[in-house]
Every structure is written in structure tokens, then in C-alpha cells.
Amino acid sequence: MRMEQSTLGQRRKPALFITGAGGEVGHGLITSLSSNNSVDIVASDLRDLDEDLRSQCAETYLADVCDRDALDRLLSMYQVKEIYHLAAVLSTRAELAPEVAHQVNVNGTVNILQIAAEQGRMYGEPVKVVFPSSIAVYGFSSLAQKTEAGAVSEYEYCKPRTMYGCNKLYCEHLGRYYAHSYRQLAQDSVQGTDKNRGVVDFRCVRYPGLISAETIPTGGTSDFVPEMVHAAARGEAYTCFVREDSRIPFMTMPEAIDATLKLAAAPRNSLSQIVYNIASFSPSAGEVAELVKKYFPGADITFEPDERRQVIVDSWPEALDCSVAENDWGFKPSYTLEQAFEEYLVPKIIKQYESAT
Ligand code: AKB
């Protein structure tokens, strides 16, 4: 039964819902979605969104993803067609308050999946949930094992050593459960009349470290690269908290946004799995520093590893095997590291700081 009337009798407006909309990914995603999307964007975060983001959304709300009643109230006027669930506590911040991180990263995701399932059942069509996971789901026991492994597939070495990585890996499995097995023994799942099958179309990309020219991340352990680039652009000294030889996968924010939207748009039957690796390049911190100094000759960069954060970065892979994303939905990096600096980061970041003065 297609229920298109809200409880008040009016037709609910189709909408696309974004949580954690004020974060780094949210900035890029809203800008991309608003330029080529006919459906209203409803955005939520714990803090007010910037005016430029608010102006691109039909509605913006202050809401905590852990507050299920608040989410139900703000979504009661909409038929949610897609959800981009970005709200999360990243790896470094999560280690300072692991139980809070679990509340947000896991219970918040359960709330979103449940809302998607209920709306999917109510309207008789699957709600698409696009979920950003992370390279934090991986865990190597030694640098030798990390180096030996090289580019890893989605299902190797998934033994996270951070609360954030545990949360993201579990939520990947939760998404698969809601997509394929939700309430499988419930009375209304009787064979043939199964109202729970396919109500959630869950899709997941595993983000590497992300580098944006417009925003600086907070609370992450891969932040050393964007922090280094932005400090040099501001003419400030930067002390890097990992060794020069630290190597993990990265991509630019525009590439991450493009890949996320490409996965979201892919026909369901073209997807052979739920979780996809994406990345563009895997520089060492020292290689990034050399490129920064090439474009910002006066850059003052030193290395003083924070052993505890270093252990986290050493547990993450050197590189990702992104072949399944390439095969299933045409993922393709836009830049090498050098091209990212030459064509995106340096021109944009200089413009960004020039306009700020
Ligand atoms: C973090 O550093 O926690 C994130 C991530 C790698 O997912 N940027």
C-alpha cells in the first residue's frame, strides 16, 4: 500500500536528507547536490549551517542523530528518498570519548537505518542510504604487515584498533543487514508478502584521508596532510604529528564527493557489493611536505611524531584496491598527487586565503 498522505492528509514532499551537513563532506555534497538535484535538500547538524549552505537547502534543522524523536519530527513532513548520513565522531576525537563516539557513530546510524526502513515500508519503495565509512576499519599488527599487504581489498585486514574504526565497520554490517535481512523472522516477513525486503538500499564508500582546499578537518588522524597544506598557505609553521615515512591513502574532497554521488546514482543491479574502497594516491607525509615546499617555498614544516596517533596511522593501509568500484560503477581518480596540488589545491587555497584578507 503506497501511503502518500501524511497523517495530516497533505502529500509529503519528496526530500533528500543529509546528517552532519555542516562538516567538510557536507559542504561539498550540498553544493554538488543543489546544483543538479530536483528534490528538496533537508539538512541537519548539531550547529547552525553556514548561510551559503543554508541557502542551498529547502530546510535546515539543529538535530542530534542520537535523538530519534527529533529526527521523526523533522522528517514527518517529508517522503525521504535518499539519506546521506555524514554525522560522525572521527578517529582522534573518538579516542578521547569512545562511548560518546559509539553513541553518535552507531546509535545515530541505527536511528537513520530505522527511519529509512520505516519510510521504505510506508511508501513501498526503497530509501537509499549513502554511508561514508573509512580506512579506519583496517588494522595492521605491524608496519611490516602493512607494507607487505600493499593495496588491500574491502575484506582484508578488517581489524580496527580505534573506536571509530570499530563503529564504521559495524555500521557497514548493519547496513548490509537492513538491506538484505531486516526483520527476517517477523510475522510480516512471511514468504511472498515480505514487506521488509529491499526497503533500504544501503551503499557505502570507504573514504581515505580527505584533502579540501575550502575546509580544514578536525578530530581526524589523517588531518596531518590538510593541516600541513593550509598552514603553509597561511604562512604558518606546521609541526607534523606523524613520521615523514607515514603513508596512507588520500583523495581530494571534490573526488570524494564525485565518487559518492556516482555510487549513489548507480543502478542497484550494477552493484556487486555494499562497501567500496575509493582513493586517489598514497603519499608519505614527507612527500607531501616536499610538494608543499615546492609551491610554498617558505613553508616551515617539522616532524614531531605523537606516538599514540602514530600507532593509529601505522595501523591503516598504505593503499586501497579500488578495482571493484572501478568495475561496478566506474570509479576513477581525477588526480595524481602532483595534479591535485597543481590543478586543485594550490590555486583554490591561494584564492581562498587571498579573499579572506
Ligand atoms: C580520520 O582521520 O578519522 C578520518 C578518516 C581517515 O576516516 N579522516
Percentages (nearest 5) of helix, strand, coil residues in the chain: 45, 20, 35
How many angstroms does the Cα of residue 111 sit away from the middle of ligand 1? 22
CA distance 234 to 285: 19
Q: Is the pLDDT of residue 223 over 60?
A: yes
Q: Residue 201 in contact with residue 126, Cβ under 8 Å?
A: yes
3 vs 300, higher pLDDT: 300
Domain boundaries, the chain: 88-356
Q: In the structure grid, which three cell numbers stand for residue 154, read together?
A: 574491502
Beta bridge partners of 302: 239
What share of the chain has pLDDT > 70, as a percent? 94
The reported pLDDT for the residue numbered 5 is 46
| pLDDT tens string 126-173 | 999 999 999 999 999 999 999 999 999 999 999 999 999 999 999 999
- Give the model confidence (pLDDT) of 85-110 as tens digits: 999 999 999 999 999 999 999 999 99
Type of residue found at 282: S
pLDDT, average across residues 231-250: 98
CATH code at 88-356: 3.40.50.720
Q: For residues 314 and 285, what is the distance between their CA atoms, to the nearest angstrom?
A: 12
Rounded to the nearest angstrom, the distance between the alpha carbon of 304 and the centre of ligand 1 is: 20
Q: Which residues line ligand 1 (CB under 6 A)?
A: 90-91, 134-136, 164, 207, 209, 217, 220-222
Q: Whose CA is nearest to atom 6 of ligand 1?
A: 209
The mean per-residue pLDDT over the stretch 188-201 comes to: 72
Could you tell me the distance, in angstroms and rounded to a whole number, from the CA of residue 220 to the centre of ligand 1? 5
Residue 192 has pLDDT above 60, yes or no: no
Residue 244 binned pLDDT confidence (cut-offs 50, 70, 90): very high
Tell me: pLDDT of 1 over 60: no
- Measuring from atom 1 of ligand 1, which residue has the nearest CA? 220
Q: How high is the mean pLDDT of the chain?
A: 93
> What is the per-residue pLDDT for 156?
97
State which ligand 1 atom lies nearest to the alpha carbon of 223. 2
How far, CA to CA in Å, does 65 sit from each of 109, 120, 267, 271, 294? Answer: 8, 19, 28, 28, 43
Residue 6 predicted with pLDDT over 90: no
Mutate which of 205, 223, 228, 250 for ligand 1? The one with the most ligand atoms within 8 Å of its CB, which is 223
For residues 43-49, average pLDDT = 96
